[in-house]
Structure 1
């Protein structure tokens, strides 16, 4: 498989992971209460999507072919902040967890803005040249995120005992 073929698969998978992370992150940040079973399940999938997005970015070197760019520095920074946020959750440091995960999420939104703001980047090009494919990919990401959210709700409902009638 040539490098162009690998990049041709990697970039859409990278973008899909980022899109799923944007959707799940928005849901988890907006909902209350925090720390319950649905928050933790969605958060786990969000962390996996974020790590995929960060790690896959190191193999994408289109801005400076064959070399790392300043964007990879942001990826390294996000890897650290995401890891600190995960460690904080696992050790019940709630405020630290909240700050680092919220910061990681807004960093993801900033990276998305950068990816769509430059007309020569892949997402704007796909919008112009492959709008149906982009719409299908976006719908698939939306379905994955919706399935994760629905699964988190089913798990909560399954754990709730049925009321006993007198």
Structure 2
């Protein structure tokens, strides 16, 4: 494991990746910690901010191009930016069940599942976790 591929990437990719990793870690803490407390609300705002950074920064990342400069991941970013205000609104209205549902699904979809796709060969996070792939040595 080496951070070198990530540190060699563009600054927008670095911001995106570090915000996503922080949101992943904070999300895990949020799910384990007591709900409805001042720390839960405060850390929740930090998580929302990090998710805005993750989704927003993705619009300047064009490594995979499906629709012009964009990919299906950008649709997930749009969905994330739509869900986040609703997630906050549900918490403020004390609609705990819907808040929990939105938070869990956003965490799983936008961080866990999308994060697993970054581990595919050819992606920067694959190189970070598994090392750089080298061309097979030829005869000689």
| Residue of structure 2 equivalent to 1:47 | 48
| Residue of structure 2 equivalent to 1:69 | 71
1:125 Cα deviation from its structure 2 partner: 2.0
Q: 2:87 aligns with which of 85, 98, 112?
A: 85
In the alignment, structure 1 segments of 5+ residues that lack a partner are 1-6, 130-166
User: Is 1:121 matched up with 2:104?
Assistant: no
Ranked by relative contact order (alpha carbons within 8 Å, sequence separation 6 or more), the top structure is: 2
| Residue of structure 1 equivalent to 2:112 | 109
**TM (normalized to structure 2)?**
0.80
**TM (normalized to structure 1)?**
0.68
1:89 Cα deviation from its structure 2 partner: 1.3
Structure with the bigger percentage of helix: 1
Count of aligned pairs: 121
Whole-angstrom distance in 2 between the partners of 1:126 and 1:25: 22
1:77 Cα deviation from its structure 2 partner: 1.4
Cα RMSD between the aligned structures? 1.6
In the alignment, structure 2 segments of 5+ residues that lack a partner are 1-8, 133-140
Secondary structure in structure 2 of the residue aligned to 1:120: coil
Secondary structure in structure 2 of the residue aligned to 1:68: coil
Secondary structure in structure 1 of the residue aligned to 2:116: helix
